[in-house]
Structure 1
Amino acid sequence: MKTLVCVSPGHFEYQSTTTPSIKPGFSLLAIKRIGICGTDLHAYQGNQPFFNYPRTLGHELSAEVVLTDNPDFKPGDAVTFIPYFYCGLCIACRSGKPNCCKHIRVSGVHIDGGMTEQLLVPSYALIKAEGLSYDELALVEPLAIGAHGIRRANVIKDEFVLIIGAGPIGLGAMEFARIAGAKVIAMDINDDRLTFCSKTLGVDYTINPRRENPLEKLELITNRGMPTVVIDATGNLNAINSGFTYLAHGGRYVLVGLQKENITFSHPEFHKREATLMSSRNATRADFMHVMDCMRKGLVSPATYITHRVDFDQVRDCFEDFLDPNNKVIKAMIHLK
């Protein structure tokens, strides 16, 4: 079978690989769609934490079951799966938090992922389509990341939620903050992305910190109260550090984006706010179910995210294009037969 391997930063190769052999507790899937996410782009550029080369990327996936020992599934079923494979034994797993398992192996990050024709995954990770299309199923995982961040922040109706970064993860967070009833503020340095937020997603307010003073704009929007929730979805060190200054007294700051360096902030300023700082890693089955339920109810329209499509055989030659802001990529979707 054909597999696309990132052999080193900036270098993809198509390789002929052996079809995985089925083994107990695992299911063999024929991959149908692969969403290209920020993790894939960062890995290609060589700045993704927790990463080694060579690696087969891809964890935003939909597929058809080929073989399975899961009695709830059968060959031919359309599925997605939770790509964070956990040990089930560590303190996080025992506490109901397999998304941050001490020994976690994320498909396409710690282990080889879905940029291939067939993939073997733990049978416990499968999720039924229940009417969703392959496109929709491949978008469940990135939307679940945003949904998990909103759940971590315990967003409530009518509070101001600032989401920094209007990439796919940030856009998902905006969607689920809106669904929770929040007043959503999008911050990004890309005006095209901000236009997408306001016109397509119905975001209440937008801020471009390169064109306007973000503190003054936030004070105006919130009647000087400032956002009670700030979510970083950039993974940019400067953006993360700046986010501390936007937080209301008593507020919550959630780091969804990830970068390699140390964050810094004023302890007195943070302390006097009695603020809460937390990270949000991956997502849980409950988040996946919430996203899929919202899709079925029409609260989220996955089709609005897909701006570019590419056949699997063409990915190596056009991947660089997805990094160019001039191409206005929101979500690129890879198709397999």
Structure 2
Amino acid sequence: MRAAVTSAPGRIAVETVADPDPGPGDAVLDVGAVGLCGTDLHMYLGERHDTGFPLRQGHELGGTVAALPRGYAGSLRLGQTVTVDPAIPCGRCRPCRRGRWPACRSFRALGVALPGGLADQVVVPVGQLHDADGLSAVEAALVEPFSIAAMALARAELVGDERVLVAGGGPIGLAVTVAAVAAGHAVLVCDPLPARRTLASELGADAVCAPAELADTVAEWTGGAGTDVAVEASGTRSALDAALAAVGAGGRLVVVGVAAHDLVVPVPRVLFDGVTIVGARAGLFPQALSVVAAHRGEVARFASVVYPLEDVAAAFTHAIERPDAVVKVMVAR
């Protein structure tokens, strides 16, 4: 079969590789579509030190079931459209045993430690598949970023008419926007790119602003109280600091953007203002599927451009060189 192989930093090409060899409990998918995310770009450029080359990338994927495990008695069927949870917890470590699987000490992920979806077919543990009948392959692939948004909002523990600041209007931030608006919350999106602010407004954001305007905008938007929840989805130091400063008394900061720098937290913010800081890792797929199925028009705006697998190198170049012009670059059959 064909598969895109990242052989060195900045070098990816379609090669002929062995057909899938599923083990016990594994399904085989015919891949329909894959989304490229920031993690993919960092891996492709050699900027992550926890991965080596060669790589078979692609963890945001949708497809159809080509084979099921021997003796499988579940509800999935051959030919069914599915989306894939790429994060596979070990099930054995202390966090997993306590039901806190997003903190698994031995996560394996498709497209990182395991061969990913930039191929004709991919092997996936059957328990990682979720029914996506009724969705297109592209929509099924986009469920994964929406699952991260669903986890972020679950960690935020929103109630009533609480307001949400989204710092970073990339794919995850915009997915948080769609999901939060769908749940009835007013959303402010902060992003340096005018095109992303415009799209956020079109997706239902109550207000948008550039980073330099954030403090004043939050003060006006909340009547000086600060936002109830801030979701930091950019991974930049400045956005993280600004998001924390924007949270009002009793509010929550949810960290989604992957970053290596420290977060400096004034103790009075936690002790006297009662600000809670949590991370959101991995996804909640049932909730994400509900949002995607109910808001297909908004979700369609995420797939900015679609490349065929044979043009995967051009897809990566497009995603890297035109971040101002795309939300999500997709690779589809």
Pair in the same fold by TM > 0.5: yes
Shorter-normalised TM range: over 0.9
- The more displaced of 266-275 and 58-67 is 266-275
Query: How do 1:1-337 residues align onto structure 2 when only pairs under 5 Å count?
Result: 1-48=1-48, 50-69=50-69, 70-71=72-73, 72-199=75-202, 201-210=203-212, 212=213, 214-283=214-283, 287-298=284-295, 301-325=298-322, 328-336=325-333
TM-fit CA distance, 1:173: 0.8
Structure 1 residues 82-129: Cα deviation after superposition (integer angstroms, max 9, x where no partner)? 111122222222233333322110111232211111111111111122
User: 1:12, 1:264 → 2: CA distance?
Assistant: 38
TM-fit CA distance, 1:39: 1.3
TM-fit CA distance, 1:246: 1.1
User: 1:299, 1:248 → 2: CA distance?
Assistant: 33
The TM-score, its normalising length taken from structure 2, stands at 0.93
Query: Per the alignment, do residues 228 and 140 of structure 1 end up closer, same or farther by CA in structure 2, a change over 3 Å counting?
Result: same
- The more displaced of 89-98 and 12-21 is 89-98
Structure 1 residues 17-45: Cα deviation after superposition (integer angstroms, max 9, x where no partner)? 11121321111111111111121122223
Structure 1 residues 244-275: Cα deviation after superposition (integer angstroms, max 9, x where no partner)? 21110111111011112222233334433121
Q: Letter of the aligned partner of 1:205 in structure 2?
A: A
User: 1:273, 1:8 → 2: CA distance?
Assistant: 48
The TM-score, its normalising length taken from structure 1, stands at 0.92
Query: Per the alignment, do residues 67 and 299 of structure 1 end up closer, same or farther by CA in structure 2, a change over 3 Å counting?
Result: closer
For residue 218 of structure 2, give the secondary structure of its aligned residue in structure 1. Answer: helix
User: 2:46, 2:170 → 1: CA distance?
Assistant: 19
Q: Letter of the aligned partner of 1:202 in structure 2?
A: G
Query: Per the alignment, do residues 220 and 37 of structure 1 end up closer, same or farther by CA in structure 2, a change over 3 Å counting?
Result: same
Q: Letter of the aligned partner of 1:255 in structure 2?
A: V
Gaps of at least 5 residues in structure 1 are none
User: 2:211, 2:79 → 1: CA distance?
Assistant: 49
| Contact 2:34–2:141, Cα closer than 8 Å, also in 1 | yes
- The more displaced of 228-237 and 42-51 is 42-51
Structure 1 residues 228-254: Cα deviation after superposition (integer angstroms, max 9, x where no partner)? 111100011222123221110111111
TM-fit CA distance, 1:299: 7.2
| Contact 1:175–1:300, Cα closer than 8 Å, also in 2 | no
Runs of at least 4 residues of structure 1 off by over 4 A?
none
The number of equivalent residue pairs is 330
Q: Which has the higher contact order (CA 8 A, sep 6+)?
A: 2
Q: Letter of the aligned partner of 1:302 in structure 2?
A: V
User: 1:258, 1:295 → 2: CA distance?
Assistant: 24
User: 2:269, 2:250 → 1: CA distance?
Assistant: 12
- The more displaced of 85-94 and 18-27 is 85-94
Structure 1 residues 265-292: Cα deviation after superposition (integer angstroms, max 9, x where no partner)? 3333443312111100011xxx211222
User: 2:76, 2:323 → 1: CA distance?
Assistant: 43
For residue 251 of structure 1, give the secondary structure of its aligned residue in structure 2. Answer: strand
TM-fit CA distance, 1:326: 6.4
For residue 115 of structure 2, give the secondary structure of its aligned residue in structure 1. Answer: coil
For residue 278 of structure 1, give the secondary structure of its aligned residue in structure 2. Answer: strand
| Contact 2:231–2:256, Cα closer than 8 Å, also in 1 | yes
Structure 1 residues 276-333: Cα deviation after superposition (integer angstroms, max 9, x where no partner)? 11100011xxx21122223333476321211101111011134212122466101111
User: 2:233, 2:49 → 1: CA distance?
Assistant: 15
For residue 261 of structure 1, give the secondary structure of its aligned residue in structure 2. Answer: coil
For residue 34 of structure 1, give the secondary structure of its aligned residue in structure 2. Answer: strand
| Contact 2:232–2:243, Cα closer than 8 Å, also in 1 | yes
User: 2:328, 2:62 → 1: CA distance?
Assistant: 15
* Identical aligned residues as a percent: 31
